[in-house]
C-alpha cells in the first residue's frame, strides 16, 4: 500500500511545534519530553501499537510485534540543532508557515526529516498488515557536535531490548537524492611552538611565522590517492589564534584543520602523513569519524535505482559515521540551507519526504517476502 498523504496537515503541525522548541546540542531535554508525550498520544490517535524507549534525550520506537527473525530497517534522525545565526530576518523559533514554507531554526536540518520519519514509521505500524521486516525509529540527540549520548548510546542499548539493525536510512536533508557515500570528519588542533621575546628588539622565534609556513604547506597539500566514489580528501584551516599583547613575540600559535577524509585513507594514516610534513604538533579530536559508503548492489541502492532517484556523494558528515552496518543518507530539504540564517523547508518537500520514506519501507518489505 502506498502512502496517500492523508496526514500532511498533522505533519506540518508537528514540524511547527518542533521548530518552536529550542534544542541546541546537549540541551535536548525539552524537545525529547515533547516528542515522548506526542508519540505516546499518537498511539491512540492513529490506532497504532508500538514501544517507546527513552534513553537520556533519545527516543527509540519499534513495533510490539518486533521479531528477531526478520531483517530490520532503522530510520535515524537527529533532534538537536546548531545555534542560530545572528542574521535571521525573522524569529528563529517562530515555527510559522509562509508561502508554503515552514520557517525556523532546524526546520530543514533536521526536524523536517524527523517529522517525515515519524509519519513513515506510523504508516508502517498502521498500514503494513504483512510485516516482512521490522522498522525501528531512532530520534537522536547530540548529532551536530558528535556527542557520545546520541546514536552511539542507542546502539549500545539495542541488545538490552532484543533489537538489532540490518541497515539504516540516515535522515538528513539531501534534496531527496540518495547519498550513497559521505566523507568522514577529522578535526585536528595544531600548535606551532616558538620562543617569546621583545618585539622591539626582534628577539625570540615567532610561532605565528612557523604556523604560517605550515598553513602554506597545507593550502597546497595533495593526498596521493583519489577515491573513485568520493574524490579527493578535502582539507581547510578554519581557526587560528596567537599572541597576548602587541609587543611580545608569541611563543604559541594554535590553529584548527578541518579534514574530510575518503575511504582511501583512515584517520591515523592522515595524521601520520601530515605529521611528517609540518613543524607544528598535531592532536586529533576524534579518530572515529570515518568515511562511509553504501555497499554496491545493496537493497538500499537497488531501491534508489528502481525509484530513479539520483545517487550522490554527501560532502557533510552525519550519524552515519557511528554505525557499522549498511546505510544510505536521504531526506527532505536542502543541505545548503543547513546552519544558515532564515532556515526553512517547504511543505511540498516535507510531504515528498514522507512519501519517499514510506516507499523505501514498501520496497524492502515487498522484497523480503
d(CA 179, CA 355): 17
* Residues linked to residue 312 through DSSP beta bridges, in sequence order: 179
Supply 170's cell numbers.
540516515
Please state the rounded mean pLDDT for residues 170-186.
95
Burial bucket for residue 134 (CB in 10 Å: 0-12, 13-18, 19+): buried
What single string gives the DSSP state of each residue in 26-60? T--HHHHHHHHHHHHHHHHHTT--EEEEEETTEEE
d(CA 221, CA 250): 26
Measured between its terminal Cα atoms, the distance across the chain in Å is 15
Lowest mean pLDDT: which of 60-74, 216-230, 272-286, 348-362?
216-230
d(CA 137, CA 331): 14
Q: Where are the beta strands (DSSP E) in the chain?
A: 50-55, 58-63, 72-78, 97-98, 101-103, 134-140, 167-170, 178-182, 186-193, 197-198, 234-242, 248-249, 252-260, 281-284, 292-293, 311-314, 327-329, 344-346
Q: Name the pLDDT band for 95 (thresholds 50, 70, 90).
A: very high
Strands 72-78 and 167-170 come out as: parallel
- Kindly tell me if the per-residue pLDDT of 117 is higher than 90: yes
DSSP tag of 231: B
Identical fold, 8-182+291-367 and 186-284: no
Residue 58 has, within 13 A of its CA and on its CB side, a CA count of 25
Q: Name the pLDDT band for 202 (thresholds 50, 70, 90).
A: confident
Mean pLDDT, the chain, integer? 95
**259 C-beta neighbours (distance < 10 Å), count:** 23
The helix/strand count (H/E) of the chain reads as 8, 18
pLDDT above 70 covers a percentage of the chain that reads: 98
pLDDT tens digits for 214-223? 999 999 999 9
pLDDT value of position 4: 61
Pick the more confident residue, 127 or 209.
209
As a CATH number, domain 8-182+291-367 is 3.40.630.10
Supply 363's cell numbers.
520496497
Pick the more confident residue, 346 or 231.
346
pLDDT value of position 2: 60
3-class DSSP assignment, residue 349 = helix
List, in order, residues 6 or more apart from 64 with CB less than 8 Å away: 49, 50, 51
DSSP tag of 104: S
pLDDT value of position 3: 62
As a CATH number, domain 186-284 is 3.30.70.360
- Kindly tell me if the per-residue pLDDT of 353 is higher than 90: yes
Residue 201 has, within 13 A of its CA and on its CB side, a CA count of 5
d(CA 331, CA 357): 8
DSSP tag of 265: S
Domain ranges of the chain: 8-182+291-367, 186-284
pLDDT tens digits for 4-55? 667 899 999 999 999 999 999 999 999 999 999 999 999 999 999 999 999 9
Please state the rounded mean pLDDT for residues 108-135.
95
- Kindly tell me if the per-residue pLDDT of 365 is higher than 80: yes
Q: pTM to 2 decimals?
A: 0.86
DSSP tag of 303: H
Amino acid at each position: 500500500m502506498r502512502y496517500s498523504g492523508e496526514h500532511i496537515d498533522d505533519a506540518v503541525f508537528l514540524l511547527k511545534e518542533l521548530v518552536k522548541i529550542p534544542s541546541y546540542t546537549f540541551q535536548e531535554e525539552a524537545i525529547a519530553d515533547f516528542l515522548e508525550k506526542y508519540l505516546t498520544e499518537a498511539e491512540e490517535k492513529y490506532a497504532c501499537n508500538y514501544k517507546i524507549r527513552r534513553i537520556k534525550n533519545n527516543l527509540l520506537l519499534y513495533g510490539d510485534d518486533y521479531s528477531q527473525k526478520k531483517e530490520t530497517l532503522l530510520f535515524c534522525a537527529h533532534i538537536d540543532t546548531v545555534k542560530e545565526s545572528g542574521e535571521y530576518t525573522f524569529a528563529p523559533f517562530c515555527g510559522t508557515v509562509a508561502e508554503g514554507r515552514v520557517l525556523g531554526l532546524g526546520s530543514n536540518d533536521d526536524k523536517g526529516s524527523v517529522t517525515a520519519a515519524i509519519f513513515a514509521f506510523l504508516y508502517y505500524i498502521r498500514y503494513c498488515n504483512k510485516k516482512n521486516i521490522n522498522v525501528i525509529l531512532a530520534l537522536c540527540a547530540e548529532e551536530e557536535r558528535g556527542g557520545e549520548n546520541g546514536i552511539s548510546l542507542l546502539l549500545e542499548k539495542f541488545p538490552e531490548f532484543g533489537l538489532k539493525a540490518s541497515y539504516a536510512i540516515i535522515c538528513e536533508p539531501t534534496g531527496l537524492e540518495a547519498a550513497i557515500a559521505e566523507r568522514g570528519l577529522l578535526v585536528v588542533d595544531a600548535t606551532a611552538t616558538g620562543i617569546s621575546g621583545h618585539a622591539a628588539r626582534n628577539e625570540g622565534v615567532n610561532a605565528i611565522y612557523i604556523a604560517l609556513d605550515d598553513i602554506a604547506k597545507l593550502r597546497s597539500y595533495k593526498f596521493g590517492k583519489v577515491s573513485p566514489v568520493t574524490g579527493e580528501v578535502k582539507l581547510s584551516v578554519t581557526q587560528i589564534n596567537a599572541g597576548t599583547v602587541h609587543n611580545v613575540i608569541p611563543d604559541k600559535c594554535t590553529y584548527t584543520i578541518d579534514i574530510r577524509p575518503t575511504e582511501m585513507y583512515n584517520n591515523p594514516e592522515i595524521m601520520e602523513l601530515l605529521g611528517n610534513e609540518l613543524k607544528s604538533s598535531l592532536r586529533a579530536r576524534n579518530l572515529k569519524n570515518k568515511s562511509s559508503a553504501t555497499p554496491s548492489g545493496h537493497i538500499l541502492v537497488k531501491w534508489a535505482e528502481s525509484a530513479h532517484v539520483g545517487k550522490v556523494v554527501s560532502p557533510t558528515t552525519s550519524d552515519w559515521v557511528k554505525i557499522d552496518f549498511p546505510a544510505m543518507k536521504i531526506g527532505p530539504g536542502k543541505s545548503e540551507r543547513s546552519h544558515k540564517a532564515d532556515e526553512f523547508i517547504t511543505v511540498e518537500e516535507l510531504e515528498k519526504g514522507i512519501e519517499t520514506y514510506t516507499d523505501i519501507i514498501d520496497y524492502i518489505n515487498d522484497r523480503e517476502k
